[in-house]
Amino acid sequence: MTTDAGDLKFRDPETAQEIAADIEAQMERIGESIEIMHVCGSHEQVIAKFGLRSMLPDDLSVTMGPGCPVCVTNMPEVDEAVALAEAGKTVVTYGDMFKVPGSARSLADAKADGASVEVIYSASEAVELAEDNPEEDVVFFATGFETTAAPTAAVLQADPPENFYVLSAHKYVPPAMEVVAEMPDTDVDAFLAAGHAATITGYGLFEDFVEEYDLPVVVGGFEPLDVLYGVRRILAFIEAGEGGLDNAYPRCVSREGNTAAMGAIEDVFTRTSGEWRGIADIPDANFELNETYADHSARKQFDIEGVEGDADPLTEECICGDIMAGTASPEGCALFGEECTPQNPVGACMVSDEGTCKIWHEYGGKPDL
């Protein structure tokens, strides 16, 4: 192996071929099938966009786990947002959440029926909307992992207007990795951890996980060579027969992470157990506003009624949860590209730009990835 992380030019084809050759040699020495799970839609996008799977040996699979925050947002959480919109609140959320189906309806459905639903691009934009419309109750349906939980925490710390509320569906990834690692149907040999979340949490966060599960965890960036380098580093651990932790994204990630952002998250949120859509009830993996910020908690300030309507019967056939648990792929879903498309999504994995089904659909399915 002659290329080190510091030498990467991120998209250089010759270097990519060189690392791919290293990976092939590593797999020959390892002599058995290996499954690496990444937990990030951005990783899946770069893998698909640059066709990286086509560079890997057949006995090395790189699958996507619970790394799409929109996809793991649970149906009852979407139902809460829809119910608030139908009750006359102004609900604002990130664009990916707009078309995600709840048990019967999406926010897009509610807006089509006249509810006030707006797409925003940042937590601060949600606050500005509340400031500009003091007569309205503005509810920010806040989703995403640590990277978006931090700005939600920051706007709450900055004394937002009284009519600003947060319906938190923020989630915390490490407990989900533990659940996936323990699932009887999964056979994950290592994790490629998300570099952007680690810029907030720091890669030191994974030290306990590595010690408990004795698996390799490598934090990876989002250029093609970042991913290939991360895979090669993981295989080095596996070849050595050991777990271990490494940071293959040192240009952005430190061991400590962004301590100010983590401080804000810890100040504003408490961690609770809750269902991740289609995967499992995961302990301590949901971020809920703590008592200090109860005045801005939509769940604490409003009685949230149920949502009326019939569920899409096709929803029963959606295997999005299995895909995010790493036990199935979009190819295993009979609806993929047929009844379920980005224009008419049945499941959340086909809605979000970070969803495996949408990414695979966009890039032509597995053979082209």
Among 215, 333, 359, 369, binds ligand SF4 (CB under 6 A): 333
Q: Tell me whether strands 269-276 and 280-289 are parallel, antiparallel or unpaired.
A: antiparallel
Examine residue 336 and tell whether it contacts ligand SF4 (CB under 6 A).
yes
Alpha-carbon separation of residue 309 from 17, 87, 105, 106, 306 (angstroms): 53, 15, 7, 11, 10
Stretch that binds ligand SF4, among 74-82, 133-141, 257-265, 333-341 (CB under 6 A): 333-341
What is the closest distance, in whole angstroms, from the C-beta atom of residue 98 to ligand SF4 in the complex?
16
170's enclosing H/E stretch is strand 164-170
Interaction between residue 279 and ligand SF4 (CB under 6 A): no
- CA-to-CA distance for 8 and 221, rounded, in angstroms? 11
Q: In the complex, which residue's CB is closest to ligand SF4? A: 347
Q: Which residues pair with 270 in a beta bridge?
A: 288
| Residues forming beta bridges with residue 288, ordered by sequence position | 270
| Pick 155 or 346: Cβ nearer ligand SF4 | 346
37 part of the interface to ligand SF4, by CB under 6 A: no
Phi, psi of 60 (to 5 degrees): -115, 110
Smallest distance, ligand SF4 to C-beta of residue 350, A = 4
Q: With CB under 6 A as the contact rule, which of the stretches 8-16, 227-235, 239-247, 312-320 interacts with ligand SF4?
A: 312-320
DSSP string computed for 80-99: HHHHHHHTTPEEEEEGGGTT
Residue 70 touches ligand SF4, criterion: CB under 6 A: no
Interaction between residue 349 and ligand SF4 (CB under 6 A): yes
Nearest 10 degrees: Cα torsion 81, 85, 89, 95: 70
- 138 or 319: CB nearest ligand SF4: 319
Only one of the segments 34-42, 173-181, 194-202, 313-321 lies at the binding site for ligand SF4 (rule: CB under 6 A); that segment is: 313-321
The single residue among 319, 324, 325, 369 that binds ligand SF4, judged by CB under 6 A, is 319
Nearer to ligand SF4, 127 or 325 (CB): 325
Q: Which stretch binds ligand SF4 (CB under 6 A): 4-12, 178-186, 261-269, 316-324?
A: 316-324
- Alpha helices (runs of H) in the chain, residue ranges in sequence order: 13-30, 41-49, 69-72, 75-86, 107-112, 123-132, 146-157, 173-182, 195-201, 207-213, 224-239, 259-268, 298-301, 320-324, 356-362
Q: How many CB atoms lie within 10 A of CB 297?
A: 18
| 318 belongs to the binding site for ligand SF4 (CB under 6 A) | yes
How near is the Cβ of 342 to ligand SF4 at its closest, in Å?
Answer: 10
Kindly state whether residue 357 participates in binding ligand SF4, applying the rule CB under 6 A. yes
Report the residue from 248, 335, 359, 369 that binds ligand SF4 according to the rule CB under 6 A: 335
Binding segment for ligand SF4 (CB under 6 A), chosen from 20-28, 40-48, 249-257, 317-325, is 317-325
264 φ/ψ angles, rounded to the nearest 5 degrees: -65, -45
Tell the burial category of 178 from Cβ atoms under 10 Å away from its Cβ (0-12, 13-18, 19+): middle
> Minimum CB separation from ligand SF4 for residue 48, in Å?
14
Sheet holding 138-144, edge to edge: 117-120, 90-94, 138-144, 164-170
Residue 350 is a binding residue for ligand SF4 (CB under 6 A): yes
Nearest 5°: phi and psi at 189? -95, -20
347 binds ligand SF4 per the rule CB under 6 A: yes
d(C-alpha 352, C-alpha 98), whole Å: 10
Q: How far is the CB of 295 from ligand SF4 (least distance, A)?
A: 37
Residues that bind ligand SF4 in the complex, under the rule CB under 6 A: 318-320, 323, 330, 333, 335-336, 340, 346-347, 349-350, 357
